[in-house]
Amino acid sequence: MAHLFRDLSLGHSKRESTPRPSPLQTKSQPMPSKLISADLQSPFGQLASQLSDSDVRFTAYDVFLAVCRTSSSKPLSTSAFFNSNSPSHNSPGQNHNHSPNTPALQRWLTSAAASKMKKALGLKSPGSSPGSKKSPGSGPGSGIQMRVPEAVDARVRRSLLRIGGGLVGRRIESVVLPLELLQQLKQSDFSVQQEYGEWQKRNLKVLEAGLLLHPRVPLDKSNNASQRLRRIIHAALDRPIETGKNNESMQVLRTAVMSLASRSDGSLSDSCHWADGIPLNLRLYEILLETCFDINDETSIIEEVDELMEHIKKTWVILGINQMLHNLCFTWVLFHRFVATGQGKMDLLYAADSQLAHVAKDVKTTKDPDNSRILKKRLLAYHDTFDSRNIYTMQGIVSLGVSAAKILVEDVTTEYRRKKKGEVDVARNRIDTYIRSSLHTAFAQRMEKADSSRRASKNQLNPLPILAILAKDVGELAVHEKHIFSPVLKGWHPLAAVVAVATLHGCYANEIKQFISGVTELSSDIVQVLRAADKLEKDLVQIAVEDAVDSDDGGKAIIHEMPPYEAEAAIGNLVKGGIKTRVDRLKECVDRALLQEVWSQQTNQEGQAPSAVEILRIIDETLDAFFQLPIPTHPTLLPDLIVGLDKCLQYYVIKTKSGCGSRNTYIPTMPALTRCEIGSKFQGVWKKKEKSQNSQNRNSQVATMNGDNSFGTPQPCVRINTLHRIRSEMDVLEKRIISHLRNCESAREVEFSNGLSKKFELTPAAFVEGVQQLSEAVAYKIVFHDLSHVLWDGLYVGEPSSSKIDSLLQELEQNLLIISETVHERVRTRVITDLMKASCDGFLLVLLAGGPSRAFSRQDSQIIEDDFKALKYLFWANGDGLPADLIDKFSATVRGVLPLFRTDTESLVERFRHVTLETYGSSARSRLPLRPTSGPWNPTEPNTLLRMLCYRNEETASKFLKKTYNLPKKL
């Protein structure tokens, strides 16, 4: 009986769209159950035969008439208990076939009080409820009919009279009743041939059920009689056999039937075992016990129930029923009637509970395995049966279920064999089972409902994903459970709500984890599901914590059953995966855009590369898309996005400056120390040779931008503008990010006020380095590559007075105009400054390492100083160019070297000896070492002084160089 309250939720409950009220329900009565009688399966098991309900009912009637007739010396007037009128001809509400003077009616009319059994069970008489009227047909004759037609009743009675003649000295339990009925009745006893065939098939199927399908004594597989009987029955079901007492076919049937029915079950009884096997006997007995209820008031017991029950108990000898099985069956009948009639009559429930006490005593005194097996059956899922309107009924139901469970504990089963009785908390375990079973069913129903809702809304704009709908429904179910059912169940289980939410948590976990395992990229639907799952989990955990606050362990044991969904982590991983995908795509866009980039000023009015505009646009879209994600963790995941964008921008900067060279790319290699003399006969030859050699050296040393010598000044200027634009956008991006963060639901002030600009760590540094490299590259390219024909090949070649700086200044001025028109004003000064530095370096390189085609005398110093002033003035531009202090700063080296051209040769030699000795010490006294031919230039540096002497057009310098370093006086 305990399992009546456990397993129905596992796939056997059925909902109705609307509750069906009982015909006798009034406004003051409780709302009916949402469960109908058919939903509640019998605990006695299902018959394996094809017997219909009417077949079972007619067989039970046959048994009842047989035992009542043979157990009394005078015939039984069964009209006192069974109305023999067919329901097809008479209404249950009509009173007929009973005279007011019949003894049964007189007993009913004169009874001063209810029967003893009704008193014991606390049940009321028909029509005894306040304000109700007794049904006109609620007397003893019409109150309990078994819906057996008169013709059938008459035939059975006639057959029993014939059988009775052969029972002298024998008891009815020694007779196989269906076999005797088949032998006593022939086709001529039936007015309709079809009725005869149906009657014969019913009795044959009863024999099959009792002897072959549900035998009391187990069958041996090698039993020939069972195989023979099976063949006879199956043949007769296809083609009716001829019945009759002396018929040969009946004799064959009788032999096979009696061989099986007479097998001993170990007792001394000579009973024929044809209807005493479970569940056939219990089903027949259940039909008989149901006749105790009034047909006109289905919740009431008839007045003659004591007398009727005495007659019903006479069937025990045929059905193999004992007091224990009677108590069990009657408990089930009372409970089933309570459910079937809408659960409005609590006295039926209390009667079942009272009867269950007798079952408990039976279990303690007997250890019948059949009794234990029958007790372990089903009850309804409480979510399908109860709601706020009938919640008080639930308390009685649960009490009954717990009582049944406690009975089961008395049984020595494997479930409790290893435990001491004191270690088993029966009520708590049973309630735990109810909660988990019922909520599993309720969850499955919500799944189906969510799927239907999803299908119904598929044509709507942005329909919710099914798991998001399910999360909302499960959350509502949990709240409903907490407020409606948990207060009732808490009386038996202190953590009822915790068990409930843990069960729901586990059910939804199976769905969400399977969902997460199949997700590869983020979408709005996926985010909706994960956020719904996260909210559901927090709600369930909150309920669990609140319910377990007063428990011994705080409910930790059950809460441990709720491993996190990790929906927030899943969102984070998906967002990070999406960020990586976006960053990878952005990098591909950088490569593609730069591959098509021409760095032409004409492609953009602002002198910026279209590729940068495109990349910045994609970054803007990426940020917008990120902050539009309906996730609560924008601040947490933002650093990942910024780092990714930072790397992409750094990559763009690196690619932008690549191939453009650097300062060192364009500075020619320092020539070796040489000595020349103006007027040498080899001068003309050397000049041509030197010019050719210098040009060749430069061409081998200078890498051209993008591998093309035609690459001019505007292209690197556009690159510089582009990098400046990117650097400027960093500030804009940071402001936009802060604005987005302020609108995030979970952002805190500290997250957007602690210097987000530091997050972009790579791009600013790459910008500074890139602009510096490009600015120096374009400056030194102009001076040493583009203007080499006027600087290296023209300035001061031959006589300084005839090869002054004018041509170089003109060319520089043209490039300055290009830079001024192309480079953005915020970085223009930087580029012009680098051009001035390159010009100063080129000027000094010509003076100190210009090769043998150049030679200077002290008289040339004025020309050189004037040229240098002109060079500085070009960049000052009468105050419109570089600031004077900036010009002074970067021309300091030239200003320091120029006075050496005025110094006499002897002084230069003496100064050179002095600084060399200071540098090398006493080792330089015998022979002055030859300094490396490398800069930087400095008036106190030995190499600078030596270079001045090499290019000094005087005999004193020639003698010193010849004597000290063996440099030739002439070439």
Convert the pLDDT of each residue in 226-273 to its tens digit: 889 999 899 888 888 887 767 788 888 999 999 999 887 666 567 889
- pLDDT score of 521: 76
- pLDDT score of 598: 86
Q: Is the backbone of residue 45 left (phi > 0), alpha (psi -120 to 50) or beta? A: left
- Indicate the pLDDT class of residue 492, thresholds 50, 70 and 90: confident
Contact 589, 615 (CB under 8 A): yes
Contact 14, 39 (CB under 8 A): yes
Q: Express each pLDDT in 748-796 by its tens digit.
A: 554 555 554 447 888 888 999 999 999 999 999 999 999 999 998 999 9
Burial (CB count within 10 angstroms: exposed 0-12, middle 13-18, buried 19+), residue 691: middle
Q: How many CB atoms lie within 10 A of CB 865?
A: 16
- State the average pLDDT for the chain: 77
- Indicate the pLDDT class of residue 684, thresholds 50, 70 and 90: very low
The CA–CA distances, whole Å, from 325 to 60, 316, 340 equal: 17, 10, 22
Contact 189, 182 (CB under 8 A): no
Q: Express each pLDDT in 830-857 by its tens digit.
A: 999 999 999 999 999 999 988 888 889 9
- Indicate the pLDDT class of residue 807, thresholds 50, 70 and 90: very high
Which of the two residues, 665 and 423, has the higher pLDDT score? 665
- pLDDT score of 919: 76
Please state which of the ranges 125-134, 585-594, 720-729, 808-817 shows the lowest mean pLDDT.
125-134
Dist CA 645 CA 388 (whole Å): 57
The CA–CA distances, whole Å, from 504 to 117, 361, 479, 887 equal: 45, 38, 11, 79
- pLDDT score of 890: 92
- pLDDT score of 9: 29
- Indicate the pLDDT class of residue 934, thresholds 50, 70 and 90: low
**Residue 429 clears pLDDT 70, i.e. is over it:** yes
- pLDDT score of 111: 46
Q: Which residue has the tokens 């650093």?
A: 639
DSSP labels, 16-56: -SS----TT--TTSPPPPS--GGGS--TT---SS---HHHH
- Indicate the pLDDT class of residue 903, thresholds 50, 70 and 90: very high
**Residue 353 clears pLDDT 80, i.e. is over it:** no
Which of the two residues, 659 and 898, has the higher pLDDT score? 898
The dihedral formed by the CA atoms of 202, 208, 213 and 219, expressed in degrees to the nearest 10:
160
Tell me which residue of 3, 11, 93, 4 sits closest to 333, measured CA to CA. 4
Tell me which residue of 761, 686, 759, 770 sits closest to 725, measured CA to CA. 770
Contact 94, 142 (CB under 8 A): yes
Tokens of 680: 């040498």
- pLDDT score of 908: 94
User: In this structure, what are the phi and psi dihedrals at residue 751, rounded to the nearest 5 degrees?
Assistant: -75, -20
Question: CA angle at residue 312 from 310 to 314, to 5 degrees?
Answer: 80
The CA–CA distances, whole Å, from 182 to 15, 61, 155, 762, 802 equal: 44, 16, 12, 102, 149
User: In this structure, what are the phi and psi dihedrals at residue 952, rounded to the nearest 5 degrees?
Assistant: -85, 120
DSSP, collapsed to helix, strand or coil, labels residue 558 as: helix
Dist CA 475 CA 464 (whole Å): 16
Dist CA 946 CA 24 (whole Å): 128
- pLDDT score of 751: 53
- pLDDT score of 847: 93
Q: Express each pLDDT in 155-206 by its tens digit.
A: 888 888 888 766 655 688 888 999 989 888 888 888 888 888 899 999 999 9
- pLDDT score of 93: 37
Tokens of 937: 């230039």
- 766: Cβ contacts below 8 Å, ≥ 6 apart: 649, 650, 653, 654
Dist CA 61 CA 178 (whole Å): 12
The CA–CA distances, whole Å, from 796 to 686, 754, 762, 801, 971 equal: 15, 60, 46, 8, 19
DSSP, collapsed to helix, strand or coil, labels residue 495 as: coil
Contact 745, 630 (CB under 8 A): no
Dist CA 113 CA 136 (whole Å): 20
Dist CA 651 CA 644 (whole Å): 11
**Residue 133 clears pLDDT 50, i.e. is over it:** no
Amino acid at 948: M
**Residue 91 clears pLDDT 50, i.e. is over it:** no
Q: Calculate mean pLDDT across residues 600-626.
A: 83
- Indicate the pLDDT class of residue 924, thresholds 50, 70 and 90: low
The CA–CA distances, whole Å, from 661 to 609, 713, 776, 840 equal: 19, 13, 9, 20
Q: Express each pLDDT in 2-24 by its tens digit.
A: 333 333 322 233 333 333 333 22
Question: CA angle at residue 284 from 281 to 290, to 5 degrees?
Answer: 135
Dist CA 158 CA 69 (whole Å): 12
Q: Calculate mean pLDDT across residues 312-319.
A: 93
Q: Calculate mean pLDDT across residues 476-486.
A: 91
- pLDDT score of 685: 36
Q: CA 767 from chain center: how many Å? A: 43
- Indicate the pLDDT class of residue 548, thresholds 50, 70 and 90: confident
DSSP labels, 556-620: HHHHTT-----HHHHHHHHHHHHHHHHHHHHHHHHHHHHHH----GGG-TTS--HHHHHHHHHHH
Q: Is the backbone of residue 585 left (phi > 0), alpha (psi -120 to 50) or beta? A: alpha
Tell me which residue of 615, 618, 541, 526 sits closest to 577, measured CA to CA. 526
Tokens of 9: 């939720």
**Residue 385 clears pLDDT 50, i.e. is over it:** yes
**Residue 349 clears pLDDT 80, i.e. is over it:** no
Tokens of 622: 């990426």
DSSP element (H, E) containing 271: none
- pLDDT score of 176: 93
Amino acid at 250: M
- pLDDT score of 414: 44
- 401: Cβ contacts below 8 Å, ≥ 6 apart: 2, 4, 5, 6, 379, 430, 434
Question: CA angle at residue 205 from 204 to 207, to 5 degrees?
Answer: 65
- pLDDT score of 342: 73
CA atoms within 13 A on the CB side of 340: 17
What distance, in Å, lies between the first and last C-alpha atoms of the chain?
127
- pLDDT score of 127: 55
Tokens of 347: 């006295």
Q: Express each pLDDT in 387-424 by its tens digit.
A: 666 666 666 667 766 776 666 665 444 444 444 444 45
**Bridging pattern class, strands 297-301 and 293-294:** antiparallel
Tokens of 435: 């909660």
- pLDDT score of 935: 63
Question: CA angle at residue 643 from 638 to 649, to 5 degrees?
Answer: 125
Q: Calculate mean pLDDT across residues 721-734.
A: 87
Dist CA 11 CA 9 (whole Å): 6
- pLDDT score of 135: 41
With b meaning 16 or more CB within 10 Å and e meaning fewer, what string describes 433-452? Answer: bbbbbbbbbbbebbbeebee
Which of the two residues, 680 and 799, has the higher pLDDT score? 799
